[in-house]
Chains A and B, each alone.
Chain A
Amino acid sequence: MRLSPEARALVSPADVFRGLAGGRGGGAWLLARRPLALLLAMGSTVSILAGGRLTARLVVDGAISFAFIPIFEIAALAVVLRRIPRRVPLAQAVDVVFTANGPWILWMLAASTIASIAGPEELPRWTSRPRLYFVAAATAIAIAWFVRLELSAFRWALERTRREAISDVALHRALAWPAAAVYFFAFALWPMIVGMLRR
């Protein structure tokens, strides 16, 4: 039984991303398919966490709510691609780099599983200590794993040297993550920062 590129990349990223190297042209479907899959996973997670069931209404609403993540990721990737001398179509780069999102999808599956098992009064325990430490550790693992995979994507699929790949990923993250955080926390961000500094 053949596993998907996302699943295989989780364990042997270099092999998978070497196989994804080379031109596969552009096209709207190539540009959209993996970001849409990510949105489907995010919408499903929101549905199970907020509503306790998988419904079209909540999946779509959750996907709309978190659409800013792939949008910022793609916009940041477009900036990074300008540094690459040989022309790589954006659609191809998006398809390759979004293959590295397996750790986040696993994280969402774990969150959905916990929400499915826990009752409504049990779920808030995961937002307070000590269980919050477990969530933070799982998130840290997902971040490290994802960055490792994204490095492989740039290194092997987009054919960058090791140093260039590190620089590309650093720039991609430096653009996409802060932009997403500013959008998500918006007006709360400044009081939160002030509060953390004053505590």
Chain B
Amino acid sequence: MTPARSVAAGVFVASLVAGTAADRAPARAPIEIGGYRVLAVDLHTHSSMWSDGALTPWGLVLEAERQGLDAIAITGHNDLFDGRVGHAFARAASRVIVLPGEEILSDPDYHLIAVGVRELVGFRQPAADAIDAIHRQGGVAIAAHPIREFWHGYDAAALQRLDGAEICHPLIFGREGAQQELEAFAARAPLAAIGSSDAHGVGPMGLCRTYVFAGEASERGIIDALRAKRTVVFGGGGAVYGDPALVRLAAGDARLRDNPAVKRKAGVLDVFSRLGGIIGLAGLLLF
């Protein structure tokens, strides 16, 4: 190994050690507000098995811990396998609750999140029928990133049956008018406010998250709270969405308002691990 390559390898390894040392889940005490257990959940995540994500199902669970999430739904594209894998892993090795689910892609009509289902729901059917199929399994149906191009898939029958709609999604940070379109969709029916990161590996999981006001910290507790629309979401520009009574309780609570995926202060180890890692990797390519 040349001296320059040795230096590059050393910088890379030092960065990896620094980043790994800083890689700890934030300490969080359970949050109780208004007699409810408040859980931070991300109901729309994708794994690399096989849903064009960048992390394995067990990697999603471990990352959820680091991002201060209490629960996630792993929602494979027209697929339940990764959700089942993540669910089994979490039960064995994590405090994070994993809800099996799927993202039903019925392009170009609708994208629909099914949370808490055990059997695949067909994508070659109108949204209302897919929602009925989700409900028959005891799950909840959430409109995924319902920007204007997906509206036509949700007719009156589907809107009447929907449980929730994503009102905070990373699209609001990148696409002009997305926030207004999500708000306009949510105004069409009484829907639970949902914040989801649609995590594929670009950007942190939990960037948008839902605070679920559950009777208990369990899969059933989360599903029941979603069905009862007991949710609060902190969106872009300081907006807060959800059940008005719960919004009043939650809006000023810093434990909920300060999203660790956004507000976490990058420490020296973080910065060194990122920059050193890039420099080390570039050195390994060059030399």
Contacts and interface: CB of A to CB of B under 8 A. Distances in A.
Q: How large is the interface on A (under 10, 10 to 19, 20 to 34, 35 or more residues)?
A: 35 or more
Contacts, number: 195
Secondary structure at chain A's binding surface: helix, strand, loop or mixed?
helix
A48 B274 contact: yes
B5 A120 contact: no
Interface stretch (B31-39, B76-84, B127-135, B136-144): B76-84
Contacts of B76: 187
Contacts of A50: 54-55, 63, 199, 201-205
A49 B277 contact: no
Contact of A62 (B52, B55, B269, B287): B55
Contacts of B52: 184-186, 188
Given A50-B205, A61-B55, A191 B123 contact: yes
A126 B174 contact: yes
Contact of B202 (A40, A108, A126): A126
Interface residues of B, number: 64
A51 B66 contact: yes
A198 interface: yes
Contacts of B285: 4, 6-7, 41, 102, 105-106, 109
18 contacts: A6-B285, A50-B204, A53-B269, A56-B16, A57-B20, A64-B59, A102-B285, A106-B285, A108-B281, A109-B285, A116-B275, A120-B204, A124-B171, A125-B173, A184-B50, A186-B77, A188-B51, A198-B108
Interface of B: 2, 4-5, 15-16, 18-20, 22-23, 47-56, 58-59, 62-63, 66, 76-79, 105-108, 123, 170-171, 173-175, 199, 201-205, 207, 236, 261-262, 266, 269-270, 273-278, 281-282, 284-287
